[in-house]
Amino acid sequence: MNWFKEDDRAVIRALADILIPDAEGMPSASAAGAADELLDRVVQLRADLAPRVLAAVRFARGKDHRAALEELRTHDSETWQGFCLAIAGGYYLFDDVRALLGYTGPERRPVDPEAAPDFTDLLAPVLARGPIWRAPRTTGEAP
Amino acid sequence: MIALVSHKGMNRAEDPDGTIADVLIVGAGPAGGMAAKHLVAAGLSVVCLEQGDWESSDRLPTGRPEGELMARQRWHWSPNQREREADYPIDESESDVGITMYNAVGGSTWLWGAHWHRLTPSDFAVRSLDGVADDWPITYAELEPFYEEAELAMGVSGLSGDPAYPAPHRHPLPPFPIGKAGRKAAEGMNRLGWHWWPGSNGIPSRPHGHLAACVRLGVCSKGCPEGAKAVADKAYWIDATASGARLITGARVREITTDSAGLATGAIWIDRSGEEHHQRARVVILCANGIGTARLLLLSKSARFPDGLANSSGLVGRNFMPHPISVAVGVFDEQLESWIGPGGIAIYSMQFYETDRLRGFVRGAKWSLSTGGGPLSIHPGLGRASLERGWGAAAHQKMRRLGHSLSWAICGETLPDPENRITLHDELSDCDGVPSVKVHFRVGENDRALRDWHIERARESLVAAGAVETLSIPVLPNSGGHMLGTARMGNDPATSVTDRWGRTHDVPNLYIFDGSLFVTSGGVNPTATICALAARGARHLIAARRDQKVAA
Ligand SMILES: Cc1cc2nc3c(=O)[nH]c(=O)nc-3n(C[C@H](O)[C@H](O)[C@H](O)COP(=O)(O)OP(=O)(O)OC[C@H]3O[C@@H](n4cnc5c(N)ncnc54)[C@H](O)[C@@H]3O)c2cc1C
């Protein structure tokens, strides 16, 4: 299902780039496709977000976009949160963005049962200090 | 009165169709599962009524790139957000923390973080040691063999010999690597001379029973798509049902029934088509968690029990102790890949677990180094930050923290307060029209002082580890996932709901085996103790079954 018309997309791109601009070595939301193909992927996975994105578009159309976002944030948290999640949710699915952040995402890393523990060297002082639990007087248990 | 002998030994004339279960369990989480496992093994006929369904880990999106986006919906921690038929809404308007649970075969372990910790010996003697709250009617030593049993059932992986516990303190499966993140945090703790220990997780590091070996996706508390985390369906219910336990799903219990002698006779439940049924039973065990069990007892009012069942003490629903979680975060220059699992815990600390009055409060907390999550979990704009601070260039800067941060989740002891309680709701009900609950919970003075002090110490440890910046979250929203204290155990029927075995003082064939029993909350996650209490209670019930009073 195509939720967004081209003039909706134009507003979404503008709003999205205020949230996620081209800065700090990171691409803008629109350059990453977070208002286009990635947004389509997001609403395919989360159809509940599409009406909230459209509500944000309706609200912001013809207004100063930054002021509109600020107003949504303070007065309509459901639309605001839905819009933000849809944009950020798509943006951080973009492989280049993940690579720039050094983020690999959930990866399968089975434990090697033969590998030596990676903490033994650090644990010595903890063991040297001995028991730290407190015995209840009532039972006579003692460390 | 007749004794509970087992269905094979029952007088057939009394129950020609075999419709009366020896034992009815309400709730198919780990508490119910542990009980069922023991009871069927002893030859008793067991029926379990569970309002949710069997779930499949294949349905979980969490292992995929879009998992974070999807995790906020159907698998949300809050039943109020999920709004599934199996859930019941919870009024949190008077609670300082949001409530989390999951309703299905396996219960809340579908979403649990699998941090596995026993209470310590001092936790059972808080009144004697620190002059607050009450002592438990049992000791650590009594529970110890049942902890070991639960650790085997739940495939716990960890390093044996933690000096924060009396020896022997063993784990059935080897520990996970602590990774770059765990090593970094441990170095900070060592600089300060503070205790830490490799994580103990209800997650097998090797294949174990029906559980797969963990592959460290790090998504545990959003639901493990590998079937590796110990969810109670795999840990208990697959075997319990194969051994003859009858588990009826989509079965919402709305009342525990009693006879004229005040003995439990079974439960009325509603199926998914809205039809009511009565399941008869000789013994009823509630394992619906600290909120669900209190709800059911309060719903089961009658002329004989006008304030709810087993509530002559007036304590049903009271002393709710949900352990709001605090977080201290340290940001580091280097990439620590802190999203790598298990998540679960890499390391934990019990350095400040025991009371030191010089700190200005009693009791303590355990810290767990948890996985940091992916981009959506740490994005400042998806929290409550302003447009300026949460988005724009500022957000890009903050997102550089991804994988560069360490988070201590601080589980501090919640002291019991009778005003912190679960009550039935006047207006709110579930989809079957059964009244739901309101949670009244305020963070107490001692708990607040404890929390603030621990956050500062945790930040110090992160600085000692080399953090360039630290921040804290005093109460993690939606972190109230430990349902404790609402039907506490004790020796005196005036000040407790059940005896030391979980049998209610007022109704001798009605038992409670879940977190409701906790007299105090301790400062650790509770599921180890819940499973141990269920095992101990079930064993006792079996051993004493010839003396068990049941309805005529
Ligand atoms: C997000 C999250 C993270 C957690 N992390 C940890 C952790 O790291 N370590 C830890 O120790 N604990 C953790 N916990 C807590 C842990 O999940 C619980 O302690 C444990 O599941 C309690 O077991 P239980 O069987 O008593 O209750 P539950 O697992 O809650 O099961 C109760 C069952 O009863 C059923 N039920 C309730 N009422 C009715 C009714 N009226 N009719 C029919 N069925 C009913 C429910 O549907 C549910 O399936 C966490 C919990 C959550 C939600």
Q: Which residue matches tokens 């605001």?
A: A80
Atom of ligand 1 nearest to the CA of B269: 42
Quote the pLDDT of residue B13.
54
**Nearest CB to A19: which of B68, B141, B391?**
B391
How far does residue B111's CA lie from ligand 1's centre (Å)?
9
Q: Would A111 be classed as within a structural domain?
A: no
* Average pLDDT over every residue of A47-74: 97
Atom of ligand 1 nearest to the CA of B103: 47
**A74 Cβ partners below 8 Å, 6+ apart?**
none
- Would you identify the CATH topology of the domain B167-226+325-413+444-474? Cholesterol Oxidase; domain 2 (3.30.410)
Q: Which of residues 13-42 of A touch B (CB under 8 A)?
A: 18-21, 23-26, 41-42
Give the best residue of B117, B144, B387, B402 to mutate against chain A (max A CB count within 10 A): B387
Q: Would A81 be classed as within a structural domain?
A: yes
Q: B50 in ligand 1 pocket by Cβ < 6 Å?
A: yes
- Answer whether residue A138 shows pLDDT above 70: no
For a pocket test of ligand 1, which of B26, B109, B233 has the largest count of ligand atoms closer than 8 A to its C-beta? B109
Quote the pLDDT of residue B372.
80
* Average pLDDT over every residue of B104-123: 98
Q: How far apart are CA B36 and CA B24, in angstroms?
A: 9
ipTM of the complex: 0.91
H or E stretch including B115? Answer: none
- Answer whether residue B8 shows pLDDT above 50: no
The protein residue with its alpha carbon nearest to ligand 1, atom 14, reads: B112
Quote the pLDDT of residue A17.
98
Residue A102's CB is within 10 A of a number of other CB atoms, namely 12
Q: Which of residues 106-125 of B touch A (CB under 8 A)?
A: 120-122, 124-125
Give the best residue of B57, B62, B66 to mutate against chain A (max A CB count within 10 A): B66
Question: Closest approach of chain A CAs to the CA of B538, in angstroms?
Answer: 25
Q: Do A101 and B163 lie within an 8 Å CB cutoff?
A: no
Q: Do A126 and B141 lie within an 8 Å CB cutoff?
A: no
List the end-to-end C-alpha distance of chain B, in Å, as a whole number.
Answer: 5
- Answer whether residue A142 shows pLDDT above 60: no
Band of the pLDDT at A141, cuts 50, 70, 90?
very low
Band of the pLDDT at A123, cuts 50, 70, 90?
very high
Q: How far apart are CA B12 and CA B546, in angstroms?
A: 17
Q: B281 with B265: CB under 8 angstroms?
A: yes
In this structure, of A51-55, B218-222, B247-251, the range with the lowest mean pLDDT score is: B218-222
Q: How far apart are CA B416 and CA B337, in angstroms?
A: 38
Whether chain B has a CB inside 8 Å of the CB on A60: the answer is no
Average pLDDT in chain B:
95
Q: Do A21 and B216 lie within an 8 Å CB cutoff?
A: no
Whether chain A has a CB inside 8 Å of the CB on B216: the answer is yes
Model confidence pLDDT, tens digit, residues B291-344: 999 999 999 999 999 999 999 999 999 999 999 999 999 999 999 999 999 999
Q: What is the domain count for chain A?
A: 1
Quote the pLDDT of residue B3.
58
* Average pLDDT over every residue of B440-447: 98
Band of the pLDDT at B63, cuts 50, 70, 90?
confident
Judge if pTM exceeds 0.90.
yes
Q: A49 with A81: CB under 8 angstroms?
A: no
Model confidence pLDDT, tens digit, residues B64-101: 888 889 877 888 999 999 889 999 999 999 999 999 99
Quote the pLDDT of residue B128.
96
Q: Where in chain B is the domain with CATH 3.50.50.60?
A: 1-114+117-153+230-321+417-439+483-552
Model confidence pLDDT, tens digit, residues B449-467: 999 999 999 999 999 999 9
Question: Closest approach of chain B CAs to the CA of A62, in angstroms?
Answer: 20
Helices (H), B401-517: 445-464
Q: Would A54 be classed as within a structural domain?
A: yes
Quote the pLDDT of residue B58.
82
Domain membership of residue A21 as a residue range: 6-101
**Nearest CB to A111: which of B176, B382, B397?**
B176
Whether chain A has a CB inside 8 Å of the CB on B335: the answer is yes
- Answer whether residue B15 shows pLDDT above 80: no
DSSP strands (E only) in B175-263: 197-198, 246-248, 252-258
Q: How far apart are CA A70 and CA A79, in angstroms?
A: 12
* Nearest-Cα residue of chain A relative to residue B347: A119
Q: Would A40 be classed as within a structural domain?
A: yes
Q: B52 in ligand 1 pocket by Cβ < 6 Å?
A: yes
Q: How far apart are CA A59 and CA A79, in angstroms?
A: 10
- The whole-angstrom distance between residue B311's C-alpha and the CA centroid of its chain comes to 23
Q: How far apart are CA B54 and CA B193, in angstroms?
A: 47
- Answer whether residue B383 shows pLDDT above 80: no
Q: B271 with B466: CB under 8 angstroms?
A: no
Quote the pLDDT of residue A1.
74
Q: Do B183 and A118 lie within an 8 Å CB cutoff?
A: yes
Share of chain B above pLDDT 90, in %: 90
How far does residue B35's CA lie from ligand 1's centre (Å)?
15
Quote the pLDDT of residue B14.
62
Phi/psi at B416 (nearest 5 deg)?
-70, 140
Quote the pLDDT of residue B64.
87
Model confidence pLDDT, tens digit, residues B340-359: 999 999 999 999 999 999 99
Helices (H), B349-487: 375-378, 387-390, 392-399, 445-464
- Would you identify the CATH topology of the domain B1-114+117-153+230-321+417-439+483-552? FAD/NAD(P)-binding domain (3.50.50)
Quote the pLDDT of residue B119.
98
Q: Do B175 and A21 lie within an 8 Å CB cutoff?
A: no
Q: B344 with B220: CB under 8 angstroms?
A: yes
Average pLDDT in chain A:
94
User: Number of A:B CB contacts under 8 A?
Assistant: 203
* Average pLDDT over every residue of A20-40: 98
Whether chain B has a CB inside 8 Å of the CB on A117: the answer is yes
Q: B198 with B158: CB under 8 angstroms?
A: yes
Q: Where in chain B is the domain with CATH 3.30.410?
A: 167-226+325-413+444-474
Band of the pLDDT at B552, cuts 50, 70, 90?
confident
Q: Do A136 and B66 lie within an 8 Å CB cutoff?
A: no
Quote the pLDDT of residue A104.
87
